[in-house]
Amino acid sequence: MDSGAIRRRIAMAAAALAASGVLGLTATGTAQAGTAGGCGGREVRTLPFRTGVTHVYKRDGYVCAITVAKRPGAARTMAVSVQARGNRPVVDKGRYRHHAGPVTVHAGHRCVWVRGSVGGSTVSSGWILC
């Protein structure tokens, strides 16, 4: 095999590798965009409040929640928590620009309590999904 054929094969292999990497990144971004930033499953509740909305998803006994600001922009205090009955809440709290979470807990068939906040406004679900 001459050096030109070797170079062509190396170039084709590099192009195929680069294309597979781009496709992998595109597929991952598409999957996340469809599920509000990382929660899998189907959306079972939407908890709107003055400055944001908390989305609740469920799949295979797991409950996931994410709080999204109505007006993203400057970083401000945001939080989201999910608590399965009988357990402690799993919380994501900090200064974010767009969303807090996702947080996921294994609830099985137990009720969960979901809370979300953006700035000074909050939402609390009470016991749901029982």
What CA–CA distance (Å, rounded) separates 121 from 48?
Answer: 10
pLDDT at residue 6 tops 70: no
Q: Which residue has the higher pLDDT, 84 or 13?
A: 84
CATH annotation of 38-128: 2.60.40
Asked whether 56 and 44 are in contact (CB, 8 A), the reply is yes
The reported pLDDT for the residue numbered 28 is 34
The residue extents of the domains of the chain are 1-33, 38-128
User: Is 67 in contact with 103 (CB distance < 8 Å)?
Assistant: no
What is the rounded CA–CA span in Å between residue 24 and residue 108? Answer: 32
pLDDT, tens digit, for every residue of 37-66?
A: 689 999 999 999 999 999 999 999 999 999
